Amino acid sequence: MTTTDTGWLAGVGIADITGEPWGIGLMGYGMRFQRSVGIHLRQRSRAFVLVDPATDRRLVYVVADIGMFFRNVTDAVLTRLDPNLYDETNVVLTATHTHAGVGGYSCYRLYNMTTGGFRPHSYNALVDGVVASIEQAHADLAPARLVLSRGELHGASVNRSPQSFARDPDHDRATFPDAIDPTTTLLRIERDGRLVGAIHWFATHGTSLSNRNMLISGDNKGYAAYRWEREVHGVDYLDRPHVVTAFAQTNAGDMSPNVPDARKGPTDDEFENTRIIGSRQADSAQELAAVSGTELAGGLDTKLRYVHLPHLDVNGEWTPDGRPHRTGRAVLGAAFAAGTKEGPGAPPFHEGVDDNPALFAASSALFRLRPNVGDAQWPKTMLIPCGALGWTAETLPVQLVRLGPLVIVALAHEVTIVAGLRLRRAVALALDVPVESVLVQGYANDYAGYLTTPEEYAEQRYEGGHTMFGRWQLPAYLQEVTALAQQMLNPMPIEPAATRPRVRAPRPGRAVAMTVSPTTLQEPEPAYTAGDVVRATVRCDDPRGPVRPLYFSVEQRSGEQWQRVADDGDWSTTVTWHTDGTAWAAELAWRVPPDMTGEFRLRYLDETTAGFTVKAASAPRGARSAPGKGR
């Protein structure tokens, strides 16, 4: 395979990763009651493979509509790739951090406690889909141009922890006058002047949908990607992915999409909020795709090392007081259990240092008895020693990617904007590049909570309570990413920070049989007009067990043939399941798009419900909308 004058080989791929659609805990808010009952928007994995032909160095970059990656999923994906081409150093697996994705796929007990335990079918769907998207992208490799452009997006994020941000020094806060990081970055892949792929980075949480939502969704970033791809290529965009667009995270730790006050917004409808914030990101990306940008001339490098975070000695060069310190073992604070404005947690707990007095008194007593613990964790009101319990990762990957002038710092944390700024400054200084050329990619390759500045940590809001390794965690990372950047600039053997962790795969549960012979319980009405919601209910078997690539579709008659116009991966549809303990039923819903007329039918799996027609009308009849499908 050769290039012309492009300097790169690039390929794109997309695959489904939706897990079990009923009864599985959604990952993100950690609420036991938040179990899936149906599908709002399917979860996808979008993969990009980039190769520098001059050196044959390559990069796999994945953006998946999940809450986070964990070590067991990363390991499983790597074992199925060609080891002569791809390994942990040049594969970056990242999550959009949707809080409406199926959970139960982690190797760590902490993250399976509220999902109904480990769910092998959902785990397999995730691993299989990520691998399939990478294999597609590898097979799609062809000469391409890479173009980088930058901009700003306002109205899609707000700082949900202004009290913590206010503790940061003036010179840091001056970089973010609105207390947000509005920076947008777009990397686009072009062949013969045609866009085939794009990665858009912007910092905002996947929490437009609240912890009361029970429908699977990619949230605002999943919608942004869906809208762009569907808009360009219609319903068959997955069958023939001529363009794959991913909406990746950066330092989104304290960035909420719920403008203006982080609780909810911009409206009172969480599904409409998902569409609005997703649309703003999609619009931003498409605007950047239309500008000339900077073509990347070539040059690709990747570095990765593992860092054992507990008891890591940190040089005073990186600490605010200029003195050496040591990190602690992973501990979650009471502020973690309190949750955030977007998703309140357990009522007995509160954010803030002084709002959990009994627990704080107990922690303070321990700090006096164990000064090393106090130096690492003060003033955290300590609640769960998850490191000592073995409930979470303590040895974590730190990864650097250099792609022409773009440098990506990939970490397994949710990084606040000022913490991200300090990381970018440290790497920029070590590599002698502008700070604008460095991106922090959170939610990468594994997961272990938040990363705040020591000043923000002292406030002990949710983000500080979820910064597990204590107040010197960011200085430790500044030290480690600088060492990795120096190795990238001047390759030389260095002593590894830690050995690669090994994890034991959770024991699989028993499969649930799923042999479906649907029968229609409620047929659709004979006729509808644009804006109406078509509904039907079918009797079905238990939807748990092996996941299906498609449960529900809408088809339109075209002569003697039927053509699919929508399915359960579309914004215009929902499928929800119900049971009375002995029998199951699936409710299908489709909002009729504008300017659509003709003869239609609904299908559940391979069975057809009664057909119906859609007639032209001057205005919609105003039927009650399907959940989450308002336009």
| Range from 7-11, 508-512, 542-546 that averages highest in pLDDT | 7-11
218 exposed, middle or buried (CB, 10 Å; 0-12, 13-18, 19+)? buried
What distance in Å separates the CA atoms of residue 458 and residue 163, rounded to the nearest whole number? 10
pLDDT of 511 over the 50 cut: no
Structural domains for the chain: 8-305+393-428+446-489 (no CATH), 519-615 (2.60.40.2300)
- Mean pLDDT over 77-85 rounds to 98
Q: How confident is the model at residue 517 (pLDDT cuts 50, 70, 90)?
A: low
Q: What is the pLDDT of residue 393?
A: 97
Q: How confident is the model at residue 435 (pLDDT cuts 50, 70, 90)?
A: very high
Q: How confident is the model at residue 602 (pLDDT cuts 50, 70, 90)?
A: very high
Q: At what angle do helices 417-431 and 473-489 cross, to 10 degrees?
A: 30
- Is residue 75 within 8 Å of residue 67, measured between CB atoms? no
pLDDT of 3 over the 60 cut: no
- Mean pLDDT over 541-553 rounds to 92
- For the question of residue 217 being annotated catalytic, the response is no
- Is residue 206 within 8 Å of residue 221, measured between CB atoms? yes
| Range from 355-364, 508-517, 613-622 that averages highest in pLDDT | 355-364
CA-based nearest residue to 387, from 375, 396, 400: 396
What type of residue sits at position 152? E
- Mean pLDDT over 532-548 rounds to 93
CA-based nearest residue to 453, from 405, 412, 431, 420: 420
Q: What is the pLDDT of residue 494?
A: 60
Q: Cα dist. 50→84, 259, 301, 418, 439 in Å? A: 16, 36, 11, 30, 18
Q: Which residue has the higher pLDDT, 102 or 116?
A: 102
Least confident piece of the model among 284-288, 325-329, 537-541: 537-541
Q: Which residue has the higher pLDDT, 499 or 521?
A: 521
pLDDT of 96 over the 50 cut: yes
Average pLDDT over the chain reads 93
pLDDT digit string, tens, across residues 225-265: 999 999 887 777 777 667 999 999 999 999 999 999 999 99
- Is residue 198 within 8 Å of residue 187, measured between CB atoms? yes
- Whether cis (ω within 30° of 0) applies to the bond prior to 177 is no
- Mean pLDDT over 557-572 rounds to 95
pLDDT of 619 over the 60 cut: no
Which stretch of DSSP H or E encloses residue 376?
Answer: helix 371-377
Q: What is the pLDDT of residue 2?
A: 39
Q: What is the pLDDT of residue 493?
A: 66
Say how far residue 399 (Cα) sits from the centre of its chain.
18
Q: What is the pLDDT of residue 4?
A: 45
Least confident piece of the model among 92-101, 215-224, 359-368, 393-402: 359-368
Least confident piece of the model among 75-84, 192-201, 583-592, 613-622: 613-622
Q: What is the pLDDT of residue 460?
A: 97
pLDDT of 407 over the 90 cut: yes
Q: What is the pLDDT of residue 625?
A: 46
How large a percentage of the chain has pLDDT more than 70?
93
- Is residue 327 within 8 Å of residue 311, measured between CB atoms? yes
pLDDT of 552 over the 80 cut: yes
Q: How confident is the model at residue 629 (pLDDT cuts 50, 70, 90)?
A: very low
Q: At what angle do helices 120-139 and 71-79 cross, to 10 degrees?
A: 50
Residues 205, 207, 212: CA angle, nearest 5 degrees: 165
pLDDT digit string, tens, across residues 13-66: 999 999 999 999 999 999 999 999 999 999 999 999 999 999 999 999 999 999
pLDDT digit string, tens, across residues 307-330: 999 999 999 999 999 999 999 999
Q: Which distant-in-sequence residues (6+ apart) come within 8 Å of 559 by Cβ?
A: none
Q: What is the pLDDT of residue 547?
A: 94
pLDDT of 605 over the 80 cut: yes
- Is residue 22 within 8 Å of residue 38, measured between CB atoms? yes
Q: What is the pLDDT of residue 15?
A: 96
Residues 208, 457, 352: CA angle, nearest 5 degrees: 75
What distance in Å separates the CA atoms of residue 163 and residue 411, rounded to the nearest whole number? 25
pLDDT of 581 over the 90 cut: no
- Is residue 329 within 8 Å of residue 469, measured between CB atoms? yes
What distance in Å separates the CA atoms of residue 283 and residue 276, rounded to the nearest whole number? 10
Q: What is the pLDDT of residue 25?
A: 95
Q: What is the pLDDT of residue 6?
A: 65
What type of residue sits at position 566? A
Q: How confident is the model at residue 507 (pLDDT cuts 50, 70, 90)?
A: low
Q: What is the pLDDT of residue 609?
A: 84
Q: What is the pLDDT of residue 1?
A: 37
C-alpha dihedral sign at 356, 358, 364, 367: negative
Q: What is the pLDDT of residue 624?
A: 45
Of 36, 45, 208, 256, catalytic: 256
CA-based nearest residue to 46, from 200, 271, 256: 200
Which two three-digit tokens encode residue 489?
């600039």
How large a percentage of the chain has pLDDT more than 90?
84
Q: How many CB atoms lie within 10 A of CB 155?
A: 14
Q: What is the pLDDT of residue 155?
A: 98
Q: How confident is the model at residue 347 (pLDDT cuts 50, 70, 90)?
A: confident
